[in-house]
Amino acid sequence: MTADATAAALTLGSELDLLLPITALLPITALLLVSQGNPYQTLVLRGILGSVATLLYALLGAPDVALTEALVGTLLSTTLYAVALRSSMALRLEDRRTQPEPDRDAQLSAWIAPLHLRLRLQPAGESGSGCHGWLADNGQLVLLRPQLQQRLQHCPGYRQWCATGGALQIAAELNP
């Protein structure tokens, strides 16, 4: 290293007042990241974690590591995580109703919102293997997985769904 590079890099002894709070942010952000229940907040925290690590590497005189962390650790991984969230955080249902019910769709969307899910209704016959169940006339919601039924039953919108004539069932219960 040249004399200019050595002078520009911070050392643990010379600038402890600056490095200590930045270094303390890493485990704090990591703990917040793993304890977070909202997947969209984890996305933001992952970006913050990578940015803090990038700053720390740059301050310690490792610009190559800082650049790699910024590009791969922060930008690329956060982008891939956002794409994965966008594609996976949806409740995909086959729409088997004879006519659309916008009020029922809005009620269902509000019901699944605490689970951070979006409603995606697919036309009957075009569902493929990615559907979680189907929505039939009179608010009949039929799911393929019992775990999803249990999670939906614990959401606040379940009582309102049932009170307005809706029902939640498992497909296996319909065809014993």
Say if strands 133-136 and 140-143 run parallel, antiparallel, or are unpaired.
antiparallel
pLDDT at 7: 54
Confidence of residue 111 (pLDDT cuts 50, 70, 90): very high
**The pTM is what?**
0.64
Residue 121 contacts residue 93 (beta carbons within 8 Å): yes
Across 8-33, average pLDDT: 79
Same domain, residue pair 120 and 72: no
pLDDT at 175: 60
pLDDT at 129: 65
Burial 7-19 (b: 16+ CB within 10 A, else e): eebbeeeeeeeeb
Helix (H) or strand (E) holding 119: strand 118-123
Whether the predicted pLDDT of 133 surpasses 60: yes
Residue 138 contacts residue 162 (beta carbons within 8 Å): no
Measured CA to CA, the distance from residue 149 to residue 158 in angstroms comes to: 10
Same domain, residue pair 43 and 100: no
Domain that holds residue 157: 90-174
Domain end (from 55, 87, 119): 87
Query: Structurally, how many domains does the chain consist of?
Result: 2
The two three-digit tokens of residue 35, written as one number: 């304890």
- Mean of per-residue pLDDT scores for the chain: 85
Residues in Cβ contact with 15 at an 8 Å cutoff, skipping those fewer than 6 apart: 59
pLDDT at 176: 47
Say if strands 140-143 and 90-95 run parallel, antiparallel, or are unpaired.
unpaired
pLDDT at 168: 92
Measured CA to CA, the distance from residue 137 to residue 123 in angstroms comes to: 14
State percent of the chain over pLDDT 90: 44
pLDDT at 74: 87
Domain end (from 87, 102, 129): 87
Can you tell me which residue has the tokens 């951070």? 116
Residue pLDDT, tens place only, 43-97: 899 999 999 999 999 888 899 999 999 998 888 988 998 898 887 888 999 999 9
Whether the predicted pLDDT of 117 surpasses 50: yes
Domain end (from 87, 102, 130): 87
Residue 162 contacts residue 126 (beta carbons within 8 Å): no
Same domain, residue pair 81 and 13: yes
